[in-house]
Structure 1
Amino acid sequence: MKNRIIYTLLILGIVSCKAQTITLKQLSECQNGLYPCPSYTNAKDTDNLLEKFVGIWKGTYTDGRTYEFRFTKKSDDGEPNERKWDILIGKMVVKTSNGNVLYNSLNNNDLNSIGGFYFDKELKKYQMSYTANADCNDGGYVYLSFPDSNNLNQMKLVFMQDMDIIASCPNGYKTVIPDAKAIMLTKQ
Protein backbone atom coordinates (compact mmCIF):
# COMPACT_ATOMS: atom_id res chain seq x y z
CA MET A 1 0.00 0.00 0.00
CA LYS A 2 2.81 2.41 0.93
CA ASN A 3 4.54 1.69 -2.41
CA ARG A 4 1.30 2.41 -4.30
CA ILE A 5 0.97 5.84 -2.61
CA ILE A 6 4.60 6.71 -3.38
CA TYR A 7 4.14 5.55 -6.98
CA THR A 8 0.95 7.63 -7.37
CA LEU A 9 2.62 10.74 -5.93
CA LEU A 10 5.60 10.23 -8.25
CA ILE A 11 3.34 9.97 -11.31
CA LEU A 12 1.37 13.08 -10.25
CA GLY A 13 4.63 14.97 -9.76
CA ILE A 14 5.86 14.03 -13.23
CA VAL A 15 2.54 14.96 -14.86
CA SER A 16 2.35 18.32 -13.07
CA CYS A 17 5.95 19.17 -14.02
CA LYS A 18 5.25 18.31 -17.66
CA ALA A 19 2.13 20.46 -17.66
CA GLN A 20 4.21 23.46 -16.61
CA THR A 21 6.44 23.40 -19.70
CA ILE A 22 5.09 23.81 -23.22
CA THR A 23 6.82 24.08 -26.59
CA LEU A 24 7.13 27.25 -28.67
CA LYS A 25 4.83 25.56 -31.18
CA GLN A 26 2.15 25.12 -28.50
CA LEU A 27 2.67 28.74 -27.41
CA SER A 28 2.18 30.03 -30.96
CA GLU A 29 -0.96 27.95 -31.40
CA CYS A 30 -2.60 29.19 -28.21
CA GLN A 31 -1.42 32.81 -28.71
CA ASN A 32 -3.07 32.74 -32.14
CA GLY A 33 -6.37 31.47 -30.70
CA LEU A 34 -6.22 27.93 -32.04
CA TYR A 35 -6.95 26.63 -28.55
CA PRO A 36 -6.82 27.97 -24.97
CA CYS A 37 -3.35 28.29 -23.50
CA PRO A 38 -2.57 25.67 -20.91
CA SER A 39 -1.21 26.78 -17.58
CA TYR A 40 2.55 26.96 -18.06
CA THR A 41 5.63 28.42 -16.47
CA ASN A 42 8.06 27.87 -19.33
CA ALA A 43 7.90 27.70 -23.15
CA LYS A 44 10.88 25.82 -24.59
CA ASP A 45 12.24 25.64 -28.12
CA THR A 46 12.32 21.84 -28.09
CA ASP A 47 11.93 21.67 -31.90
CA ASN A 48 14.83 24.12 -32.52
CA LEU A 49 12.56 26.52 -34.41
CA LEU A 50 14.74 29.51 -33.48
CA GLU A 51 18.05 28.03 -34.66
CA LYS A 52 17.51 28.91 -38.33
CA PHE A 53 17.42 32.63 -37.40
CA VAL A 54 20.57 32.60 -35.24
CA GLY A 55 23.64 34.25 -36.75
CA ILE A 56 24.77 37.36 -38.59
CA TRP A 57 22.54 38.61 -41.41
CA LYS A 58 23.31 41.44 -43.84
CA GLY A 59 21.25 43.33 -46.39
CA THR A 60 20.89 46.63 -48.22
CA TYR A 61 17.71 48.67 -48.51
CA THR A 62 16.75 50.46 -51.75
CA ASP A 63 17.95 53.85 -50.41
CA GLY A 64 21.48 52.45 -49.92
CA ARG A 65 21.35 51.91 -46.15
CA THR A 66 23.12 48.71 -45.13
CA TYR A 67 21.90 46.54 -42.28
CA GLU A 68 23.72 43.99 -40.19
CA PHE A 69 21.60 42.03 -37.72
CA ARG A 70 22.98 39.64 -35.11
CA PHE A 71 20.43 37.22 -33.72
CA THR A 72 21.14 34.98 -30.75
CA LYS A 73 18.93 32.54 -28.91
CA LYS A 74 18.25 33.21 -25.24
CA SER A 75 16.83 30.43 -23.09
CA ASP A 76 14.43 30.99 -20.21
CA ASP A 77 13.94 34.72 -20.78
CA GLY A 78 11.75 36.44 -18.22
CA GLU A 79 11.62 37.93 -14.76
CA PRO A 80 12.05 35.83 -11.61
CA ASN A 81 8.81 34.14 -10.53
CA GLU A 82 7.18 34.87 -13.91
CA ARG A 83 6.71 32.86 -17.09
CA LYS A 84 9.85 32.25 -19.08
CA TRP A 85 10.39 31.22 -22.67
CA ASP A 86 13.11 30.77 -25.24
CA ILE A 87 13.42 33.78 -27.55
CA LEU A 88 15.64 35.47 -30.10
CA ILE A 89 17.54 38.63 -29.20
CA GLY A 90 18.57 40.91 -32.06
CA LYS A 91 21.14 43.65 -32.28
CA MET A 92 22.01 45.70 -35.35
CA VAL A 93 24.25 48.19 -37.08
CA VAL A 94 22.79 50.46 -39.75
CA LYS A 95 25.01 52.52 -42.07
CA THR A 96 24.36 55.08 -44.79
CA SER A 97 25.38 54.34 -48.36
CA ASN A 98 28.69 56.14 -47.71
CA GLY A 99 29.45 54.10 -44.56
CA ASN A 100 28.41 56.50 -41.78
CA VAL A 101 26.84 54.71 -38.81
CA LEU A 102 23.19 55.73 -38.37
CA TYR A 103 22.37 53.34 -35.56
CA ASN A 104 24.33 50.79 -33.54
CA SER A 105 22.82 48.56 -30.85
CA LEU A 106 25.60 45.92 -30.76
CA ASN A 107 26.68 47.07 -27.29
CA ASN A 108 23.12 47.29 -25.90
CA ASN A 109 22.07 44.92 -23.17
CA ASP A 110 19.37 42.38 -24.03
CA LEU A 111 16.60 44.57 -22.57
CA ASN A 112 17.41 47.37 -25.03
CA SER A 113 17.61 45.15 -28.09
CA ILE A 114 15.14 43.60 -30.49
CA GLY A 115 13.33 41.05 -28.31
CA GLY A 116 11.45 37.98 -29.45
CA PHE A 117 7.84 37.03 -28.82
CA TYR A 118 6.41 34.07 -30.71
CA PHE A 119 5.69 32.48 -34.06
CA ASP A 120 2.56 32.83 -36.17
CA LYS A 121 0.20 29.84 -36.20
CA GLU A 122 1.92 28.30 -39.26
CA LEU A 123 5.35 28.72 -37.61
CA LYS A 124 6.53 30.69 -40.68
CA LYS A 125 6.99 34.18 -39.18
CA TYR A 126 8.65 35.12 -35.92
CA GLN A 127 7.55 38.34 -34.20
CA MET A 128 9.89 40.57 -32.19
CA SER A 129 9.47 43.93 -30.43
CA TYR A 130 11.74 46.81 -31.36
CA THR A 131 12.32 50.44 -30.36
CA ALA A 132 15.06 52.69 -31.74
CA ASN A 133 13.72 56.16 -30.87
CA ALA A 134 10.54 56.27 -28.79
CA ASP A 135 10.22 60.08 -29.13
CA CYS A 136 9.83 59.67 -32.90
CA ASN A 137 7.57 56.63 -32.67
CA ASP A 138 10.40 54.56 -34.10
CA GLY A 139 9.21 51.35 -32.53
CA GLY A 140 6.86 48.48 -33.16
CA TYR A 141 7.29 44.91 -34.33
CA VAL A 142 9.82 43.18 -36.53
CA TYR A 143 8.75 40.05 -38.43
CA LEU A 144 11.28 37.50 -39.64
CA SER A 145 10.49 34.87 -42.27
CA PHE A 146 12.04 32.80 -45.04
CA PRO A 147 10.42 33.44 -48.45
CA ASP A 148 11.74 30.09 -49.68
CA SER A 149 11.58 27.40 -46.98
CA ASN A 150 14.28 25.47 -48.88
CA ASN A 151 16.74 28.39 -48.67
CA LEU A 152 17.54 29.27 -45.07
CA ASN A 153 20.32 31.64 -46.18
CA GLN A 154 17.85 34.31 -47.42
CA MET A 155 15.59 35.91 -44.81
CA LYS A 156 12.97 38.64 -45.07
CA LEU A 157 12.67 41.24 -42.32
CA VAL A 158 9.69 43.61 -42.11
CA PHE A 159 9.19 46.34 -39.50
CA MET A 160 5.63 47.44 -38.65
CA GLN A 161 5.58 50.73 -36.77
CA ASP A 162 3.27 51.29 -33.79
CA MET A 163 0.71 54.00 -34.43
CA ASP A 164 1.26 56.08 -31.30
CA ILE A 165 1.27 59.86 -31.05
CA ILE A 166 4.69 61.38 -31.74
CA ALA A 167 5.94 63.51 -28.84
CA SER A 168 8.87 65.40 -30.36
CA CYS A 169 10.73 64.45 -33.47
CA PRO A 170 12.95 66.38 -35.92
CA ASN A 171 11.42 67.29 -39.26
CA GLY A 172 12.08 64.66 -41.93
CA TYR A 173 12.98 61.89 -39.47
CA LYS A 174 13.12 58.41 -41.05
CA THR A 175 12.65 55.29 -38.99
CA VAL A 176 15.87 53.28 -38.62
CA ILE A 177 14.21 50.30 -40.28
CA PRO A 178 11.82 51.34 -43.09
CA ASP A 179 8.18 50.98 -42.06
CA ALA A 180 6.18 48.23 -43.80
CA LYS A 181 8.95 47.54 -46.32
CA ALA A 182 10.82 44.28 -46.68
CA ILE A 183 14.59 44.07 -46.33
CA MET A 184 16.14 40.93 -47.75
CA LEU A 185 19.00 39.61 -45.64
CA THR A 186 21.71 37.08 -46.41
CA LYS A 187 23.22 34.84 -43.75
CA GLN A 188 26.94 35.44 -43.32
Structure 2
Amino acid sequence: MANESIQLFNGTDLTGWRMRRPDREHKWVVHDGILDNTDKGVDILTEQEFGDFELHIEYLVPKDSNSGIYLRGRYEIQILDSLGKTYSYPAENGALYNQKHVDVEASKPAGEWQTVDATLKGMSLTIFLNGAKIHDNVTIEGPTGGQLSDDNPPKGPLMLQGDHGPVQFRNIRIREL
Protein backbone atom coordinates (compact mmCIF):
# COMPACT_ATOMS: atom_id res chain seq x y z
CA MET A 1 0.00 0.00 0.00
CA ALA A 2 1.32 3.45 -0.91
CA ASN A 3 2.22 5.84 1.86
CA GLU A 4 -0.39 8.49 2.51
CA SER A 5 0.43 12.19 2.73
CA ILE A 6 0.66 13.56 6.24
CA GLN A 7 -0.05 17.14 7.29
CA LEU A 8 3.09 18.62 8.84
CA PHE A 9 1.26 21.75 10.03
CA ASN A 10 -2.12 21.36 11.69
CA GLY A 11 -3.17 24.99 11.13
CA THR A 12 -3.85 25.68 14.81
CA ASP A 13 -0.55 25.47 16.71
CA LEU A 14 3.13 24.47 16.49
CA THR A 15 2.60 20.80 17.37
CA GLY A 16 5.29 18.73 15.59
CA TRP A 17 7.64 21.69 15.17
CA ARG A 18 10.57 23.05 17.20
CA MET A 19 12.83 26.07 17.02
CA ARG A 20 16.35 25.66 15.65
CA ARG A 21 17.67 27.92 18.42
CA PRO A 22 15.33 27.55 21.41
CA ASP A 23 17.51 30.04 23.32
CA ARG A 24 16.50 32.86 20.95
CA GLU A 25 13.19 34.65 20.65
CA HIS A 26 11.17 33.37 17.71
CA LYS A 27 8.63 35.28 15.63
CA TRP A 28 6.45 32.36 14.50
CA VAL A 29 2.71 32.65 15.14
CA VAL A 30 -0.26 30.61 13.96
CA HIS A 31 -3.50 32.20 12.75
CA ASP A 32 -6.21 31.37 10.23
CA GLY A 33 -4.49 28.12 9.18
CA ILE A 34 -1.25 29.99 8.46
CA LEU A 35 2.23 29.48 9.93
CA ASP A 36 3.44 33.09 9.99
CA ASN A 37 7.01 34.25 10.60
CA THR A 38 6.25 37.88 11.40
CA ASP A 39 9.83 39.21 11.49
CA LYS A 40 13.49 38.12 11.56
CA GLY A 41 13.78 35.44 14.22
CA VAL A 42 14.87 31.81 14.09
CA ASP A 43 14.38 28.84 11.79
CA ILE A 44 11.68 26.29 12.61
CA LEU A 45 11.92 22.58 11.87
CA THR A 46 9.83 19.45 12.06
CA GLU A 47 10.41 17.09 14.95
CA GLN A 48 10.04 14.22 12.46
CA GLU A 49 12.74 13.38 9.89
CA PHE A 50 12.18 12.32 6.29
CA GLY A 51 14.26 10.53 3.66
CA ASP A 52 12.78 10.27 0.16
CA PHE A 53 9.53 12.17 -0.16
CA GLU A 54 7.08 14.32 -2.08
CA LEU A 55 6.48 17.68 -0.41
CA HIS A 56 3.62 20.11 -1.02
CA ILE A 57 3.93 23.54 0.57
CA GLU A 58 2.40 26.95 -0.09
CA TYR A 59 4.03 30.23 0.87
CA LEU A 60 3.55 33.96 0.65
CA VAL A 61 6.64 36.18 0.64
CA PRO A 62 6.13 39.91 1.26
CA LYS A 63 7.85 42.59 -0.82
CA ASP A 64 11.66 42.51 -0.39
CA SER A 65 11.57 39.53 1.98
CA ASN A 66 13.67 36.36 1.94
CA SER A 67 13.22 32.85 3.34
CA GLY A 68 13.81 29.25 2.36
CA ILE A 69 12.59 25.67 2.56
CA TYR A 70 15.33 23.29 3.70
CA LEU A 71 14.89 19.69 2.58
CA ARG A 72 16.38 17.29 5.16
CA GLY A 73 17.48 20.49 6.93
CA ARG A 74 20.32 20.94 4.44
CA TYR A 75 19.21 21.74 0.89
CA GLU A 76 17.54 25.14 0.48
CA ILE A 77 14.83 25.95 -2.01
CA GLN A 78 15.09 29.74 -2.04
CA ILE A 79 12.07 31.89 -1.26
CA LEU A 80 12.62 35.47 -2.39
CA ASP A 81 10.77 38.46 -3.77
CA SER A 82 12.78 38.25 -7.00
CA LEU A 83 10.31 38.45 -9.87
CA GLY A 84 11.93 40.40 -12.72
CA LYS A 85 15.37 40.38 -11.12
CA THR A 86 18.45 38.37 -12.14
CA TYR A 87 21.24 37.01 -9.98
CA SER A 88 24.82 36.06 -10.85
CA TYR A 89 24.55 32.97 -8.63
CA PRO A 90 21.51 30.75 -7.92
CA ALA A 91 19.57 32.91 -5.43
CA GLU A 92 16.27 33.70 -7.18
CA ASN A 93 12.90 32.43 -5.98
CA GLY A 94 12.82 28.65 -6.45
CA ALA A 95 16.57 28.26 -6.95
CA LEU A 96 18.44 25.41 -5.33
CA TYR A 97 20.33 28.01 -3.35
CA ASN A 98 23.94 28.54 -4.43
CA GLN A 99 23.82 25.45 -6.70
CA LYS A 100 21.30 25.80 -9.54
CA HIS A 101 19.20 28.54 -11.13
CA VAL A 102 15.58 27.75 -12.02
CA ASP A 103 15.00 26.40 -15.54
CA VAL A 104 12.06 28.77 -16.08
CA GLU A 105 10.74 31.82 -14.24
CA ALA A 106 7.53 30.72 -12.53
CA SER A 107 7.39 33.14 -9.59
CA LYS A 108 4.38 35.21 -8.70
CA PRO A 109 4.66 38.78 -7.43
CA ALA A 110 5.34 39.41 -3.74
CA GLY A 111 2.21 39.15 -1.62
CA GLU A 112 0.65 36.30 -3.64
CA TRP A 113 0.46 32.68 -2.51
CA GLN A 114 2.86 30.38 -4.34
CA THR A 115 2.98 26.58 -4.47
CA VAL A 116 5.96 24.24 -4.37
CA ASP A 117 5.72 20.54 -5.16
CA ALA A 118 9.11 18.93 -4.62
CA THR A 119 10.24 15.32 -4.98
CA LEU A 120 13.50 14.28 -3.34
CA LYS A 121 14.88 10.76 -3.97
CA GLY A 122 18.40 10.22 -2.69
CA MET A 123 20.18 13.36 -3.90
CA SER A 124 17.92 13.83 -6.95
CA LEU A 125 15.45 16.75 -6.86
CA THR A 126 12.50 17.71 -9.05
CA ILE A 127 10.47 20.85 -8.27
CA PHE A 128 7.33 22.41 -9.65
CA LEU A 129 6.74 26.06 -8.71
CA ASN A 130 3.19 27.28 -9.34
CA GLY A 131 2.67 24.33 -11.69
CA ALA A 132 5.80 24.88 -13.83
CA LYS A 133 8.74 22.48 -13.66
CA ILE A 134 11.71 24.57 -12.49
CA HIS A 135 14.12 21.72 -11.63
CA ASP A 136 14.09 18.36 -13.40
CA ASN A 137 15.92 15.50 -11.71
CA VAL A 138 18.76 17.75 -10.50
CA THR A 139 21.57 16.16 -8.51
CA ILE A 140 22.14 18.07 -5.26
CA GLU A 141 25.87 18.52 -4.70
CA GLY A 142 25.57 18.84 -0.91
CA PRO A 143 24.42 21.33 1.71
CA THR A 144 23.59 24.74 0.24
CA GLY A 145 24.41 27.10 3.14
CA GLY A 146 22.64 27.76 6.42
CA GLN A 147 22.17 24.01 6.89
CA LEU A 148 21.81 22.13 10.17
CA SER A 149 25.10 20.32 9.52
CA ASP A 150 27.56 19.63 6.71
CA ASP A 151 26.74 15.97 6.11
CA ASN A 152 24.32 14.37 3.62
CA PRO A 153 22.20 12.04 5.77
CA PRO A 154 19.54 9.76 4.31
CA LYS A 155 16.95 11.51 6.52
CA GLY A 156 16.45 14.94 8.04
CA PRO A 157 13.75 17.39 9.11
CA LEU A 158 11.94 19.92 6.99
CA MET A 159 13.24 23.33 8.07
CA LEU A 160 11.71 26.71 7.26
CA GLN A 161 14.01 29.72 7.34
CA GLY A 162 12.92 32.33 9.85
CA ASP A 163 16.04 34.43 10.37
CA HIS A 164 15.89 36.51 7.15
CA GLY A 165 12.45 38.11 7.11
CA PRO A 166 8.69 37.68 7.20
CA VAL A 167 7.07 34.80 5.33
CA GLN A 168 3.86 32.79 5.62
CA PHE A 169 3.26 29.08 5.01
CA ARG A 170 0.16 26.90 4.74
CA ASN A 171 -0.97 23.48 3.48
CA ILE A 172 2.31 21.74 4.34
CA ARG A 173 2.13 18.02 3.62
CA ILE A 174 4.60 15.29 2.85
CA ARG A 175 4.38 11.76 1.49
CA GLU A 176 7.29 9.45 2.17
CA LEU A 177 8.42 7.37 -0.81
Q: Indicate the TM-score class for this superposition, using the shorter chain for normalisation.
A: under 0.3
Q: Between Structure 1 and Structure 2, which shows a larger proportion of helix residues?
A: 1
TM-score by length of 1: 0.25
Larger radius of gyration: 1
TM-score by length of 2: 0.26
